[in-house]
Every structure is written in structure tokens, then in C-alpha cells.
A and B are shown apart, each in its own frame.
Chain A
Amino acid sequence: MPKAINRRIFLNTLFLTAITPPVFAKEPAPKTISRAAVQHRLDKLCVIDNNFSSVDGWILPTKILTKGAV
């Protein structure tokens, strides 16, 4: 059964496709966090030795933290 189109759906479709406001036409801005927030996050990273680091007590290979699975 095709879905019945009522008045609200019709007007929404018209509004969002035919007469799209400029704000929706722009590329979405990339999600960014401030430099301070980045630093705050990285403060939780503690280098233990050449191979291992800890984050909040979790002991992990540094390569996994920086590059993903290796």
C-alpha cells in the first residue's frame, strides 16, 4: 500500500526541496574542537616507554593509539 500523502507531508516536502533556505544549501562545517580541548584530552595520555602508553590507567601499545591496529 503506498503511503497516503497528507497536507503536512506535502508542505514539508515542498519546503525542503523546492524552496530550500540558503542555510541548508551550504556544506556542513567540519566538526572541530578547540586546541585547548584537544590538549585536555591528550593530557590523559601518558607515555610509559618506547612501546606503551596509558590512558586513564589502561595500558596499551602506543602504536595502536596513534595508528590503529598494526
Chain B
Amino acid sequence: MLFDFNMQTTIDKIYDVCIVGTGPAGITLARKLSQSGKQVILLEAGGPDYSEQSQDFYECESVGHDAWPKFTRLRYFGGTSNHWSGRCRPFDSSDFDSQEINGLPGWPIRYSALEPYLREAMDILDLNGEQGFQAINDDLLNNHFHPDAFSQSPPTRFKAKYQSEIKAAENIDCFYHATAIDLKLDSLKRSVHKLEITNYKNDQATVEADKFILCLGGIETPRFLLNCNKQIASGVGNANDMVGRCFMEHLNVPMGSFIYRDLDNTADMQFYTDDGLVNEKHIGKSNISLGIVSKVKSYGRTKAVKNFFKNIACQMEIEDKVQFISDFKCPGMGNIGTLLEQSPNLDSRVSLSQDTDDLGINRAKFDWQISDYDRKTIRETGLAMAKEFNQAGLGVVRLADFMLDESIDIQYGHHAHHMGTTRMSDDPTYGVVDKNSKVHDIDNLYVAGSSVFSTGGACNPTMPIIQLSLRLADHLSG
């Protein structure tokens, strides 16, 4: 059933599970838990459609490297699935190999914990199960980089696909315009007793449930937990000051450009680093995209490029050759795009700003930082790829100045993937949730979504978010 909390402000049922957030994680959990017979309440802070009033609640104070936190997420039914690109790729089993990075442990689970949910996640995301995950190019680099196999979702818009099902479900009560504002803990502060919600008119209600699941994304989930500070000053689940820490993105670094030796080759390619390079260099994983921007032949540069390849291969004085190469100003026929793994680091974090939103709740203070480990990932990956590209006879790569000169700041952007701020760890010293996604010091509070990622790999997060949500639903149904 669907309700508007602006119209229906009384909630007197007691539910088995209260789910906060209607993005891919929240909707997946609601469907799965209702199918197992649970009475579910599903809360959405925004409305059924986009509105500026709702989106303004995502305004953050940004003090580190900017990642557009207001615009990369959507605050209405379906959440960020309303504008995701649809690229899907599961984690590798090696993503779960326990390894310490920046003094922080990796995942406390193995990939085998997620693998059983792959096929179901593919169905949810409308992926072709028969086709599976496929690469768009052959294995041309064949040393440390392999073709990246992925699958493209239409992309699935969770609102369009599942809203009518949720409306028809007898054991799901979904409320729009219901912003979660506080958790009421029991006297021992060991479990959540009630959840307080409000609409924009400040009509408030409490929700009672046996279990509570936060599915608010990598910025709002820590913001909410930190704002639940009336009974525990540091916030709920934050006994070890880990809530909001280890914010990770996937690094979008414009590494440089390339020219294929074969001027008739206009193929886009995507590669993925193999574990050998990652382990040998102690760096993060990466997806490298070679995208054609302008065909050499279309812009009258054929002669110049052919001359370039001819001259660099001929014998001449080295100083003349160096001069010739540096005089070659061809911008390249394609650009090298990247999706690089960022390592967890404590200094990259979401905390609370002094600024408040229209409901008087402290906004998120967003401080995205990369570490020396990440800088090494960027430079080593680019160099390895450039060398392998040449060795494979594909052509030549020109790397950006910051790739070779460590005194120049690296240019990097984001992929709108917010991860790690309530990371999963067996040891509460290094994480917020345990291996079952339960908040360490609270008996009935869980988190779903990419905020629980211990490490982010170099794959788009939606597929693992769905797999983890299905796993959590199984855990809570059992």
C-alpha cells in the first residue's frame, strides 16, 4: 500500500521490519521480506516525483574535494536508481581477499557469500541472464589488463518497475514524505525501540518495528546516525568514531590520450587490471576505457600521424627525435577514461555541519580526500597501461603531465558512487556493521547499500548493493 505522510500521519501498526529509503537496496529488501511474510513499513523522505524542495535536503557543506553530493543522488521514490547509468559488474572474488590497506582490514566475508544472489540480482536489474557479462573487445593487451566484462541494465528505474507491486502488496506499507529524524533506543541503549519521522509540516509520528534497516546511501546514512545524538552524544553506532569515516568514490581520472597505429581502428575498448599487477604494485583495481573522440581520418591528420609513426621508428639523432616528438601536437584520437578503486582512509569522511536543513537537522559535512595509496594506484595503473598498449603494437599513449610528475596535483573526478561510510568489519574498531550488516552495538539496527562496502573494487556498485540486500533479506527471514 502507498500512503502520503502529508495526508495520513497516524501509524499505529507494529511492523516486523522498518526500512528507511526507497532506492535499490530499500525496495529490494521490502519486496524480498514481504515475500517471506514479513510485515514491512517502507519510508521515503521525498515524494513520488522529483521536487526542488526535497532535493534541497541533500545540500552539503563540502570542505574536501568536491563530488557534487547534492546532484549525484535523488531524494524521491526509487532514489538514485532514477538516474543511474545501468552499467553492472559484480565484485571479483579477489575483492574479498582479506588485505589491510591504510591500516584498515578488508571485507570480513568472502565472495561466496554474495555469489548465490547473482542471478536474482540480474533479474531485478533486467540483465540478460543467458548472455551474462561480456566484454566489448578482445584480449589485446594480454598481460596485466584484460577485457572488462560487464552487462548493461536498461537501466532499471525502480520506481517505474516496482511502484505498482509495492502499492499492491498487502504486507508493505510505503509512506512518502516521511523523513526519519531520530532513533529511540531502549534504556540499555542496545536496541532501537522506535523511529521518529516527520513531514515538511512538522507532523510527527513514531514507527515501531522489530528490526530497522537504513538504506539511505553513503552520505545520508552516516548523517542520520550522527544526528541520532540525543541518547548517545556521539551518535548511534559510533562508539568507535567510525560512522562517516572511510568515504570512498571511484576515481575518474582523465589519464591522457592515445593514437591507434592502425588508423582504421576506431574501436572503443575497456580493460580491467588483473590481480597480478594489483598485488605486485600494491595498488587498487581499475577499469580503463579507451574511447574514440575524433577519427584521425575525419580531421585531415592522416599524413601527420602516419609521419609520426614513421619518424619515431627511423634512425636519427636522439635529440632530433625528441624534438620531433615534442613538436607533434596531435591531441590524440581518443581519451583514456578510468574508474579506479579508492582505498578506505579515515580522513575521507562525512561528519555533521553546523548548517541545518529546513527541518532543523544538521546537514552533512562532506570531506572527500584521497590518499598516497590512491595516487600510487592512479600513476602506476596509467603507466602500466601505456607501456602495455605500446608493447601490444596498438599505438602510443600520451599521459597527462600529473601522471609522470609527482609535483603536479592529480586531476580527478568522481563516478557518483558513495561507499564505505558505515563499513563492514568483524572488529568494531574498524567498522560500523558486522558481517551480517548489523550495527555493532545495536541489536536490531541494520544498514544496506554501498555505505557498508569495506572496499569498493572497480565495479559499479548497484549490482553488489542488490546482492548484499538479498543476502540481508535472507538473513532476516531465517
How many B residues, CB 8 Å from partner?
28
Q: Does B321 contact A (CB under 8 A)?
A: yes
Q: Which residues of B contact A58 (CB under 8 A)?
A: 325, 328, 396-398
Separation of A59 and B392 alpha carbons in the complex (Å): 13
User: Which of A38, A41, A64 counts the most chain B CB atoms within 10 A?
Assistant: A41
Q: How many whole Å from B315's CB to the nearest CB in chain A?
A: 4
Q: Could you say which of B318, B319, B323, B399 contacts A59, with CB atoms under 8 Å apart?
A: B399
Partner of B386, one of A44, A55, A59, A69: A59
A13 → chain B, closest Cβ, in Å? Answer: 37
Given A41-B322, A42-B322, A57-B400, are A68 and B316 neighbors across the interface (CB < 8 Å)?
yes
Chain A residue contacts of B390, Cβ below 8 A: 52, 59-61
Cα–Cα, bound, A17→B316 (Å):
35
- B383 CB-CB contact with A under 8 Å: yes
- A55 close to B326 (CB less than 8 A): yes
Bin chain A's interface residue count.
20 to 34
User: Nearest Cβ in chain B — how far from A35, in angstroms?
Assistant: 10
At the interface, is chain B mostly helix, strand, loop or mixed? helix
Partner of A41, one of B319, B383, B401: B319
- A69 touching B313 in the complex, CB below 8 Å, given contacts A54-B404, A59-B383, A60-B390: yes
Q: 1/0 contact trace for B377-411 toward A, CB 8 Å?
A: 00000010011001100001111110110000000
1/0 per position for A35-70, CB-CB distance to B under 8 A? 000100110111010011011111111001111110
A2 to B321, CA, bound (A): 45
B63 at the binding interface (Cβ < 8 Å): no
Q: Which residue of A lies closest to B323 (CB)?
A: A41
B399 touches A54 (CB 8 A): yes
Within the complex, what minimum Cβ distance (angstroms) separates B136 from chain A?
A: 24
Residues of B within 8 A of A38 (CB): 319
Tell me how many residue pairs across A and B have CB atoms closer than 8 Å: 70
Residue of B at shortest CB range from A68?
B315
Instruction: Note all chain B residues with C-beta closer than 8 A to A57.
Output: 256, 398-401, 403-404
Contacts of B315 in A (CB 8 A): 67-68
Chain A residues whose CB sits within 8 angstroms of the CB of B256 once the complex forms: 57
* Chain B residues with CB under 8 A of A56: 325-326, 398
**B:286-343 near A, CB below 8 Å:** 312-316, 318-323, 325-326, 328
- A42, B396: Cβ atoms under 8 Å? no
Chain A residues closer than 8 Å to B399, beta-carbon distance: 54, 57, 59
Smallest CB–CB gap between B369 and chain A, Å?
A: 27
Chain A residue with Cβ nearest B385: A59
Is A65 a contact partner of B318 (Cβ separation < 8 A)? yes
Which of A55, A61, A68 makes the CB contact (< 8 A) with B322?
A: A55
What's the nearest-Cβ distance from chain B to residue A46, in Å?
7
- Whether the pair B313, A59 counts as a contact (CB closer than 8 A) is no
Interface residues in B165-201 (C-beta closer than 8 Å to A): none
A66/B318 in contact, CB under 8 A = yes
5 extra A-B contacts, CB within 8 A, seeds A59-B398, A69-B314: A41-B320, A41-B323, A44-B323, A59-B390, A60-B396
20 contacting pairs across A/B (C-beta < 8 A) = A41-B326, A44-B322, A48-B387, A48-B404, A51-B387, A56-B398, A57-B256, A57-B398, A57-B400, A57-B401, A58-B397, A59-B386, A59-B399, A64-B312, A65-B312, A65-B322, A66-B318, A68-B314, A68-B316, A69-B314
Complex A-B, nearest 7 residue pairs according to Cβ-Cβ distance, in ascending order: A68-B315, A69-B313, A59-B386, A56-B326, A41-B319, A55-B325, A57-B398
Chain B residues with CB under 8 Å of chain A are 256, 312-316, 318-323, 325-326, 328, 383, 386-387, 390-391, 396-401, 403-404
Q: Which residues of A contact B (CB under 8 A)?
A: 33, 38, 41-42, 44-46, 48, 51-52, 54-61, 64-69
